[in-house]
């Protein structure tokens, strides 16, 4: 099977206890081979490091409740891993103030925009300007705004709803 001679002989010796079971025949690796495999693994890890993602989090709630706190925790954790985050929220919201305090970039949607037409247009511009790859909506209105703003764009959409009830119409709430 292409194994060195000393390994082919060692496997059949009674009382032979293998160390690291990285061989298909159960034989132990020598120290030199262990170092070589570790170097190969490190090289592979360097080449296949995960890409940096550009993510926009959309939440239209005005208060700072559990969902907004989870959004901040998620954005902070992803930023710590090296991903670019943008928080998209209504102007004057508690989320805008808190995200600003935590040093997260914030884009605001106009507060007095009844049909969110201007907000949808502004979000679409932000998606194009910042080359957003993932658009994560954290509430129901944010899902609608995100979907309309990203129609026809090469962006992945994620929807998270934190509700205490089961949606009654499965067709409307399916992803």
Cα separations in angstroms, 10 against 17, 41, 47: 9, 26, 35
What is the DSSP annotation of 87-118?
A: EEEETT-HHHHHHHHTT--EEEE-SS-TT-HH
Q: Which pair of structure tokens corresponds to residue 77?
A: 């954790």
The rounded Cα 137 to chain-centroid distance in angstroms is 13
List per-residue pLDDT tens for the chain, 175 residues long.
Answer: 455 555 545 444 455 444 444 455 555 666 777 777 777 777 776 666 678 899 999 999 999 998 899 999 999 999 999 999 999 999 999 999 999 999 999 999 998 888 889 999 999 999 999 999 999 999 989 999 999 999 999 999 999 877 777 666 666 555 4
pTM value is 0.68
What integer pLDDT is reported at residue 3 of this predicted model? Answer: 53
What integer pLDDT is reported at residue 112 of this predicted model? Answer: 86
The answer to whether the beta carbons of residues 104 and 97 sit under 8 Å apart is no
Q: Are strands 54-59 and 134-137 parallel, antiparallel or unpaired?
A: parallel
């Amino acid at each position: 099977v292409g194994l060195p001679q000393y390994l082919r002989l060692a496997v059949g010796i009674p009382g032979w206890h293998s160390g690291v079971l990285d061989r298909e025949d159960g034989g132990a690796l020598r120290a030199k081979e262990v170092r070589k495999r570790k170097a190969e693994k490190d090289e592979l890890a360097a080449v296949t490091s995960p890409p940096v993602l550009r993510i926009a989090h959309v939440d239209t709630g005005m208060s700072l409740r559990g969902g907004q706190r989870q959004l901040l925790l998620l954005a902070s954790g992803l930023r710590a891993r090296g991903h670019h985050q943008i928080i998209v929220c209504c102007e004057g919201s508690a989320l805008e103030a808190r995200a600003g305090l935590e040093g997260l970039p914030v884009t605001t949607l106009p507060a007095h925009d009844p049909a969110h037409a201007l907000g949808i247009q502004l979000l679409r511009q932000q998606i194009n300007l910042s080359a957003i790859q993932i658009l994560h909506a954290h509430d129901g209105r944010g899902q609608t705004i995100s979907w309309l703003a990203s129609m026809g764009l090469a962006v992945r959409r994620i929807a998270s709803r934190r509700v205490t009830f089961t949606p009654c119409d499965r067709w409307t709430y399916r992803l």
